[in-house]
Chains A and B, each alone.
Chain A
Amino acid sequence: MKTFFASLCVLLFAAKVFAADAAADFSAANEIYAKGKFADAAAAYEKILQTGATSPALLFNAANAEFKAGHLGQAIAAYRQATLLAPRDAELRANLAFVRNQVQGATVRERFWQNWFSTLTLNEGAVLTAVLFWLTFALFAARQIRPELVPKLKGVTRILVLLTLCSATVLAVQAANHFSTATAVVIADNAIARSGPFDDAQTAFTARDGAELSVLDRRDGWVQVADGAGKIGWLPVKQVEVLPGA
């Protein structure tokens, strides 16, 4: 038991030190940004992200720095990652919309229902569904233990079952969107999409920095993408940032 508590203390202490370090690095990166050294600030934010730490604010600031440094694609990729953590952040959505407006050429945008479904993060959806699921089964169990409560609990049970089913459906759609679809954000100035996954294949189309493309396939350092106009081509992985979800 003593060993357990000692390990717990060490872990808590390490987490606190880590949090303090990340916060200090974050403030330092903000200062670099304030001096107008946007590329340096972007690198500083990226360094924090590479430690494994992530937060909506960190990704938001990293995206701002990338945008100010002229990297539309990197900015959009970071904003999109931030929206996965904080989908209802109005500032985040405003900046993402602004940067998207700077992007030239055809691009793939979320559909209305996808925006609606992503109002909650995947984790929020999972917790909500779990809570409803637990409540529903707790109610089922209560009905078994106290059968005299069944008539009183009838309406509540129906509502809870309905809410659980709705929540589970939304979660399933969210999870399917997160795990089975992907979006490639172009991070090169003029990425040439080719008709096959090799360097000397014909040019299919040119995607501009920041274009968001649907990922159709991946093969040996290449991703097959489709743009908003339905053009299909292969891009080298190094020219895109592949993110989960459509």
Chain B
Amino acid sequence: MDATKMRLSLKTLTMLLLVALLPGAAGAASFTASLDRDSMMLGEQATLSLKFEGVQPQDAPGMPNIAGLQFQYVGPSSSFSFINGQTTSSVTYNYLVTAQRAGDFTIPAMRADIGSQQLASAPLKLTVTTANAPSAAAVNSGSEIAFLKFNFPKNKIYVGEAEVGRLELYLRDDVQNFGNFQITSSPTDGFNAGKTTELQNQRRRVQVGNRVYTEIPLALPLTAVRAGALTLGPFTASAVVVLPSQNQGGDPFFRQFFNQGEQQQINLATEALNIQSLPLPAQNRPANFSGAVGQFSFAASAGPTTVTVGDPITVRVQVSGRGALDGVTLPAQNAWQNFKTYPPTTKLDTADPFGFQGTKTFEQIISPENSDVHELPALTFSFFNPDDGQYHTLTQAAVPLTVKAAGTSPMPVQAANKNSADEKPAQDILPIKENLGTHTQNKTPLVAQPAFLAVQSVPVLAFLAAFIWRQRTDNLANNPRLRRQRAVAQLVRDGLNDLKKFAAENKADEFFALLFRLLQEQLGERLDCPATAITENVIEEHAVLRSAPNATRDTLRELFQLCNQARYAPVRGTGELNSVAAKFETTVGALQEVKA
């Protein structure tokens, strides 16, 4: 059963239990709505609980449409209590409430029709405020435990320009510790935002107004993707700080060592920053401009320069500098019409953690299509520099080529052999395979197949069987009494067959000789003494046999006497011998039951 089915079953079971218990529940039915808070900041969430006591609605109540508020159903919770013979049960439906704007909201009274009953809740009020950064006066006075600032290096930015915003968290000097720092809202509409990371080794203590604060800087890489008036922030965050305990009791000397501090939840907000995002100018835009924005340098090389028609030439272009390198592409080179070109490969080596500074290397394979080609035309790369607001075009000089005519010079195909010393960059994929090869239908890995796992228990079981066998063998080897017991049991089993055979053949002498020997062996084993030492007298003398049933002892006596008589009156009939053999068998069975 999967987790979903199990949850459904549990839910159904809970509901059935509640339904079963409700008839016995005491008290009137009620329906109440409550919020876990009356006010919250924009970006936070409140919890709305609809509680039904004494009744069980069929389903979660639908929520009213309130402009600016969104409700997200979380799930039900139920409780049941039995106090002084009175049972009460309740079901609570929980919703997350998210505000889309600041303002005062009223959640109207809600009605629920349950069977013949009509229940209604009271209306609720929720005030949503925008997060406000503390005033400069408050910060300078030192009354703020912590505050957040956001700095962006420019107030005008071009579309495609990349900059790193700096989010600074300030903690007052009496904050002993802080944790659970979470950015709860980071409005960066119109920007492509990267991951916020702390700038390592840049924490410092700064004097702000009357107090000293610890500044913790965080970097937020941003790339403008839309033109127009954009707003960054307000960024909001929450954290838990530990402040010195206000409890001033006890000895001041010890208090300075054992002050555990008090935890306090704080909400932080920055001012919103207005940024003007400018479109890239259309004027003077180079024809081969491919969207690179930043400050770049450009280097190119090509080789080999002496080739035959169709031979590959590797053109290596390196674009280095600062900007959104991720989006930098190799511009189309219109002057390469006499070359066959292949898609370029790229490699990005970044020099900063944001990917805004570094080198992007393009490698492109081209091949001259005729022997009239004498040079690789000049390579150009255009970019827009946001610092001077102008387009720049960088050019690398043409590379002279010597192209020889060739009768047949097929475009080389990538070789699979990776061991060749003069390995060249791949120019195309390797061709398809002609044979389908071994194909399979079952895609489930062996380790996920129960049968495969079950088979692995076989060697373990085999080992356990061998282990048990070894233990039993060792026990037998170390226990001569047990060994004798088993040997005598086997001897008696074989002997009984011989007795029956002698009886059938009417060989009385052999019959009684064997019978006497078997009696000696069996009694010797039971009494733990040599078989040759056994006579009729042991029946009376030995304590072990004294504890045997009287009938057994009588039969033993009788058998011994028969053996003795046989020496003097050996002739007996087959029937009598069979009767004696049966008595012996019965007696031996009884003897084996006697505790030795």
Contact = CB atoms under 8 A, between A and B. Distances in A.
B348 interface: yes
Interface in A21-73: 22-23, 26, 30, 33, 52-58, 60-61, 64-65, 67-68
Interface string B426-459: 1011111111111111010111100010011011
Interface residues of B, number: 52
B429 A123 contact: no
A26 to B, nearest CB: 4
A156 interface: no
B355 A229 contact: yes
Nearest to A205: B192
B439 A53 contact: yes
A7 B432 CA distance: 37
A200 to B, nearest CB: 11
A99 interface: yes
A133 B463 CA distance: 12
Nearest to A206: B192
Contacts of A58: 436-437, 439
Contact of B416 (A91, A140, A206): A91
Given A26-B436, A98-B429, A106 B192 contact: no
Given A22-B439, A64-B431, A94-B430, A178 B446 contact: no
A98 B426 contact: yes
Interface string A198-233: 000011111000000000000000000000011110
Contact of B469 (A122, A145, A206): A145
A19 B439 contact: yes
A126 B433 CA distance: 28
A123 B348 CA distance: 36
Contacts of A232: 195
A137 B195 contact: no
B303 interface: no
A162 to B, nearest CB: 17
A53 B441 contact: yes
30 contacts: A26-B436, A30-B432, A30-B434, A54-B439, A55-B436, A56-B437, A57-B435, A57-B437, A64-B429, A65-B432, A94-B430, A95-B414, A95-B429, A98-B414, A98-B428, A98-B429, A102-B344, A102-B345, A106-B326, A134-B459, A141-B466, A141-B467, A144-B470, A175-B447, A202-B188, A204-B192, A204-B193, A229-B350, A230-B194, A231-B194
A115 interface: no
Given A106-B355, A134-B459, A203-B192, A99 B429 contact: yes
Q: How large is the interface on A (under 10, 10 to 19, 20 to 34, 35 or more residues)?
A: 35 or more
Interface of A: 18-19, 22-23, 26, 30, 33, 52-58, 60-61, 64-65, 67-68, 90-91, 94-95, 97-99, 101-102, 104-106, 122-123, 126-127, 130, 133-134, 136-138, 140-142, 144-145, 147, 171, 175, 178-179, 195, 202-206, 229-232
B540 interface: no
A125 B188 CA distance: 48
A126 B453 CA distance: 10
A33 B355 contact: no
Contacts of A106: 326, 348, 355
Interface of B: 188-189, 192-195, 225, 326, 329, 343-346, 348, 350, 355, 414, 416, 418, 426, 428-441, 443, 445-448, 452, 455-456, 458-460, 462-463, 465-467, 469-470
Nearest to A136: B459
Contact of B445 (A23, A33, A68, A126): A126
Contacts of A171: 447
Nearest to B342: A102
Contacts of B433: 57, 60-61, 91
Interface centre among A95, A99, A147, A179 (most CB of B within 10 A): A95
A94 B437 contact: no
A30 B355 CA distance: 42
Interface of A is mostly: helix
Nearest to A124: B446
Given A106-B355, A133-B459, A138-B462, 16 more contacts: A19-B439, A54-B439, A55-B440, A57-B436, A64-B430, A64-B432, A126-B445, A134-B458, A137-B462, A138-B459, A141-B463, A144-B469, A145-B466, A202-B189, A205-B192, A230-B194
Nearest to A138: B459
B466 A22 contact: no
A52 B429 contact: no
B189 to A, nearest CB: 6
Given A104-B329, A123-B446, A175-B447, A54 B440 contact: yes
B462 A230 contact: no
Contacts of A127: 446
Contacts of B431: 64
Given A26-B436, A140-B463, A147 B426 contact: no
Given A52-B441, A55-B438, A106-B348, A145 B416 contact: no
Nearest to A127: B446
B447 A105 contact: no
B431 to A, nearest CB: 7
B427 to A, nearest CB: 9
Nearest to A172: B447
Nearest to B462: A141
Contacts of B350: 229
Contact of B439 (A55, A104, A231): A55
A28 to B, nearest CB: 11
A102 B343 contact: yes
